[in-house]
Amino acid sequence: MLRIGIIGAGSWGIALAKLLADNGHNVTVWSIIAEEIEMLRSKHEHVDKLPGVKLPDNIDYTTDLKATCSDKDILVLAVPSPYTRSTAHSMKDFIADGQIIVNVAKGIEEKTLYTLSQVIEEEIPQAKVTVLSGPSHAEEVGRGLPTTVVVGAKEQETAEFLQNAFMNDVFRVYTSSDILGMELGGALKNVVALAAGIADGLGFGDNAKAALITRGITEIGRLGMAMGGKFETFCGLTGIGDLIVTCASMHSRNRRAGILIGQGKSYDEAMAEVKMVVEGVYSAKAAMGLSEKYGVDLPIIEQVNLVLFGGKPAKDALSSLMGRDKKDEHLNISWQE
């Protein structure tokens, strides 16, 4: 039995707390919000973010960050991406040398263009920072529906240790050394999912959705490989797999926000209606910063930025994508003479 601290009591943190407690581990969940902790203690359910998922009685809940971080085999950092740095900064004095931290949020920091593991490493240099990612809606994991993810670490031994801690009959875990590729796939798929949602809101069909998913992973992979990520990662669970589920599911807050924008809601109205952090919004600007830094064209992500922040009508953004210059689909496949 491992001692595990979950930093963050949102839907994903709570789903993973249940999973890990069901696996037989000793789990403590932290939230900065006292009312949230009291609700979890009294109801054994997150009635706002994961309704209907009953939590085991042996999970502890606390607002004491030091106690949650101390003497743990694993810490799971499950706060929304905009709060990763501030939370890591608050944790740093409580973290032992070599402490394993599993980041499960997805995003890119706009100011620095860092992935979230890079943010955590900067704030907590003594920690061993790892990543868990893949097509894994909290609503389904909480209900015990079959799910497959990837854990990324710099050392194979650490990855396999985490694989054993998280894996069970309905939660399959692969391992990978390509942390950068995993994180880029997880962050940028949220931006493409906004585009897919916008297309849904405009009333487009399956053809448009398939095109956005396919050309979206092309953009993600092109940028990711320019930054040092591996081609295989973008073809796998944390690349195309995560992109498919986020573009297709109504569990996806990014897709839901996009639908509202496509239906004519303003950016602010869409965010207010979704009532959860839409992480693709925070990664969209950062993606354009990476596009400029690495000289990689990201036409779908560029149009999402123009709709979100430039006041461009969603229908005009589609026209811009459809009206781009004629091209071969695969530039590295030559014509036979």
- pLDDT above 80 for 329: yes
The string of pLDDT tens digits covering residues 217-261 is 999 999 999 999 999 999 999 999 999 999 998 888 899 999 999
- The pLDDT value recorded for residue 117 is 98
- The pLDDT value recorded for residue 275 is 78
In CATH, the architecture of 3-177 is 3-Layer(aba) Sandwich (3.40)
How far does Cα 213 stand from its chain's mean position?
A: 17
Closest C-alpha to 4, from 164, 228, 155, 143: 164
How far apart CA 108 and CA 283 sit, in angstroms, is 5
pTM of the model: 0.94
Please report, for the chain, the start and end positions of each structural domain, with discontinuous segments joined by +.
3-177, 180-322
CB atoms near residue 308 (< 10 Å): 23
Residues with catalytic annotation?
189
Contact of 108 with 287, CB cutoff 8 Å = yes
The DSSP 8-state label assigned to residue 151 in this structure reads: E
Query: Which element (helix H / strand E) includes 75?
Result: strand 74-77
pLDDT mean across residues, the chain: 95
- The pLDDT value recorded for residue 272 is 87
The yes/no answer on whether domain 180-322 falls in CATH 2.30.30.50 is: no
- Name, in order, each residue with C-beta under 8 angstroms of 4's C-beta and a sequence gap of 6 or more: 20, 25, 26, 27, 28, 72, 73, 74, 75, 76, 165
The string of pLDDT tens digits covering residues 121-138 is 999 999 999 999 999 999
The string of pLDDT tens digits covering residues 211-224 is 999 999 999 999 99
How far apart CA 64 and CA 61 sit, in angstroms, is 9
**More confident: 8 or 272:** 8
The DSSP 8-state label assigned to residue 337 in this structure reads: -
